[in-house]
């Protein structure tokens, strides 16, 4: 079993209900066990600012799926909740956003799969839920979640 972390986000519709339903669907995936769920945080959008606020969180999983298979399952869940990545701006509004943040201690750099998530270290809305799930969590090649949060705090 591999320990993986997935970031959750929604800024369209009933955000909290969408995130809860998505977690329920994650619990139903074969070869996936949800081990922990962070609290949700109401956050400002980044990059593409002309959109509603987000609700973000993270889940800790144990899985026997490969990283690619897990990502495929996450993308299928997004589609089931009405997200069409081909028709929306990359940072635009979405019913559901599921990002594979960490997959064990793996570093993966493929065209459609990058782990750790490339901007994890600069996003408070990702780091805080990860710290809530595991304050000692290490991000391969970048240090601990706590240290990454401290860098954000010191940079303002």
Query: Worst-scoring range by mean pLDDT, 9-13, 35-39, 56-60?
Result: 9-13
pLDDT (0 to 100) of residue 45: 86
Q: From the candidates 42, 50, 99, 124, which is the catalytic residue?
A: 99
* pLDDT for the residue numbered 156: 53
Query: Which candidate in 83, 84, 105, 123 is catalytic?
Result: 83
105 is catalytic: no
pLDDT of residue 103: 98
Helix (H, G, I), strand (E, B) or coil at 102: strand
**Which CATH number covers residue 150?**
3.30.70.560
Beta-bridge partners for 42 = 55
Both tokens of 137, joined, read 């969590």
Which of 3, 84, 97, 136 is labelled catalytic? 97
Can you give the pLDDT at residue 44?
87
Q: What is the pLDDT of the chain when averaged over all its residues?
A: 93
Asked about 68 being catalytic, the answer comes back as no
Active site residue 79: no
- Catalytic hit among 68, 85, 94, 105: 94
- Specify the pLDDT at position 47: 73
So what's the pLDDT on residue 155? Answer: 67
> How large a percentage of the chain has pLDDT more than 90?
82
Residue matched to tokens 């799926």:
65
The whole-angstrom distance between residue 65's C-alpha and the CA centroid of its chain comes to 17
pLDDT-derived band at 154 (thresholds 50, 70, 90) equals confident
- Residue 48: its pLDDT value, please? 65
> Which pTM does this prediction carry?
0.94
94 catalytic per annotation? yes
Q: What is the pLDDT of residues 37-51, one digit of tens each?
A: 999 999 988 876 678
Query: Which pLDDT tens digit goes with each residue over 99-111?
Result: 999 999 999 999 9
Q: Is the pLDDT of residue 89 over 90?
A: no
Q: Look at the chain and report how many structural domains it folds into.
A: 1
Burial of 87 (0-12, 13-18, 19+ CB in 10 A): exposed
The greatest distance separating any two alpha carbons of the chain, rounded to the nearest whole angstrom, comes to 42
Residue numbers of the domain that contains 91: 2-155
Residue 15 burial (C-beta neighbours within 10 Å; 0-12, 13-18, 19+)? buried
Query: Computed over its alpha carbons, how large is the radius of gyration of the chain?
Result: 15
Burial class (CB in 10 A: 0-12, 13-18, 19+), 117: middle
Distance between CA 143 and CA 122 in Å, rounded? 13
């Amino acid at each position: 079993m591999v320990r993986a972390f997935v970031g959750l986000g929604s800024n369209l519709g009933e955000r909290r209900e969408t995130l809860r339903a998505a977690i329920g669907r994650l619990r139903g995936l074969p070869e996936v066990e949800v081990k922990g769920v962070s609290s949700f945080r109401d956050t400002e959008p980044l990059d593409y600012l002309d959109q509603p606020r987000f609700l973000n969180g993270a889940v800790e999983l144990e899985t026997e799926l490969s990283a690619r298979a897990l990502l495929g399952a996450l993308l299928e869940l997004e589609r089931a909740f009405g997200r069409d990545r081909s028709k929306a701006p990359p940072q635009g509004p979405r019913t559901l956003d599921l990002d594979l943040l960490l997959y064990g201690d793996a570093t993966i750099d493929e065209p459609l799969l990058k782990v750790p998530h490339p901007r994890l270290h600069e996003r408070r809305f990702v780091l805080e839920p990860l710290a809530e799930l595991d304050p000692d969590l290490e991000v391969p090649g970048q240090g601990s979640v706590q240290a990454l949060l401290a860098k954000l705090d010191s940079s303002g």
